[in-house]
Chains A and B, each alone.
Chain A
């Protein structure tokens, strides 16, 4: 496995930033639900920051479209 470029160097989101992201996503959570999510989000944020980012231009994703699969 080669050294990878990822986003683990970025600082964690603050509670205010998390609230802002939730609002901008169009979600309206009560304070109780928001507090639960603020507690849950750091684990997910750390996960997406570990995703390797440095790819060759031609590295294909795993969901390439196959129109024949949608023929009636």
Chain B
């Protein structure tokens, strides 16, 4: 049996039926990584010894009929800004290329308790912001759909490794779109949960007030299973919310008949959008309508507004994190990260406060709209995956982002595949967002869509 593209749900069923073992699956995936990752560079470090030990432990539990839950025995990988005790955690940066944490991030502690199998640490844009970069100790990851293209970022290795069939799930982080972007560009499901749903403890910060951890998998159902194992209150994270974690898998079924879904006007039809995107979103909306949802137009502030608000806040918070290193060793940063963080030094307190007061207004705008609709619908990305080009100019501050609106509002948002571009044959993506801590609704809509479409079942062929 080729296990490469089995989902977490499928693996769990086969484990319970004892038709597959965690050790078999882990060995097969380690072999696949060894054969193919030289071309994709999704892993910075493969933790083979840890993986086999954890798989063996999971197999003992399997044989004893003591599987703990949906992630038990499931291989996964971590974006390399998530700290792992005794295992190098580099941030994909020269600044931390030899750093070995003493303690696990909270999310790692939860995955260990759930019986997950850690396969390794994944490529990322430098400190989850500086990328795609070609001047770092490791090259950027490549897109399995076409290795001339990039997988997006900043959770670049997470997107590439799941799309390539190296792991059925990976943990990324999302401040302005860094889970949803790679999910969109790699044909995956990727969720940015509500701010405070998953602990940030032990994750190298990007923007304290907007950082989220989130899984990337091959289906909304798998997102539900993965999220179940990592969501929850952490009193040591001041942003963590002490709210119950629903049974996400149990809430997947039930369909979307009667739901009111707000299609955000003007976002996915932005002048910079891919020419095939509008039609793909239109088709996806048709599917949702056929499933019984009512589609209504919703008007929110522009992507430009949300992007300016988010980037101003982020720039200041980022500079506060990197100030010492920028003052003592600026040459050791990658060019892109350095020039995305330095602006924070020149943004004034008044600018920062203007952005924070705007953030309240923008978040309130979405909350008001969500009194009339159950969820928002838009695209997961405006374009398809970029070509790998070391000479490409950095237009981070200038380019409106379709993921940043839900970062500003702190609301849950998932990206799922909804088609392929005609010319490049690269994934196109749908994004669904809902009210704070209503991940269950977002997942239910995504799952309903995936029950009647097959985009998420397509996989790249690795040469």
Residues of A within 8 A of B327 (CB): 26-28
Please tell me if B56 contacts chain A, counting CB pairs below 8 Å: no
Q: Which 6 A-B pairs have the closest CB atoms?
A: A61-B356, A44-B343, A43-B397, A62-B359, A40-B339, A25-B345
Write out, one digit per residue, whether chain A residues 25-59 have a CB within 8 A of any chain B CB (1) or not (0). 11111100100110111011111101111010001
Q: Are A51 and B330 touching (Cβ within 8 A)?
A: no
Q: In the assembled complex, which residues on chain B have CB atoms less than 8 Å from the CB atom of A22?
A: 342, 345-346
> Is the pair B308, A47 in contact by a Cβ cutoff of 8 Å?
yes
Residue B137 lies at the interface, judged by CB distance under 8 Å to chain A: no
- Known contacts A53-B354, A59-B361; A27 and B312 CB within 8 A of each other: no
Q: Which one of B343, B347, B358 lies within 8 Å of A52 (CB-CB)?
A: B358
Decide if B397 touches A47 in the complex (CB within 8 Å). yes
CB closest residue in chain B, given A70? B238
**By the criterion of a CB under 8 Å from any partner CB, how many residues of chain B are at the interface?**
39
Residues of chain A lying within 8 A (CB to CB) of residue B361: 59
Q: Shortest Cβ distance from B352 into chain A, in angstroms?
A: 9
Find out whether the CB atom of B347 lies under 8 angstroms from the CB atom of A44: yes
B351 neighbours in A (Cβ, 8 Å): 48, 51
Chain A residues near B386 (CB-CB < 8 A):
none
Most chain A CB neighbours (cut-off 10 Å) among B209, B304, B343: B343
Which residues of the partner chain A approach B209 to less than 8 Å between Cβ atoms?
62-63
User: Any chain A CB within 8 A of the CB of B338?
Assistant: yes
Q: Is the CB of B330 within 8 A of A61?
A: no
14 A-B residue pairs with Cβ-Cβ distance under 8 Å, sorted by A, are A28-B330, A29-B330, A30-B330, A36-B335, A36-B339, A40-B339, A41-B346, A43-B395, A44-B343, A51-B308, A51-B358, A61-B353, A62-B363, A69-B239
Return the contact of B343 from the options A28, A40, A62, A69 (Cβ within 8 A): A40
A10–B351 alpha-carbon span in the complex (Å): 14
Q: Does B315 contact A (CB under 8 A)?
A: yes
Contact for A37 among B238, B304, B342, B355, CB less than 8 A:
B342
- Contact of A27 with B330 in the complex, beta carbons under 8 Å: yes
Q: Using A27-B326, A27-B327, A70-B238 as known contacts, list a sample of 4 further A-B pairs with CB atoms less than 8 Å apart, ordered by residue number in A.
A: A1-B301, A40-B339, A61-B353, A63-B209
For residue B362, which residue of chain A has the nearest CB? A62
Identify which of residues 183-241 in chain B touch chain A, using a CB-to-CB cut-off of 8 Å. Answer: 209, 238-239
Neighbouring A residues of B330 by C-beta, 8 Å: 27-30, 33
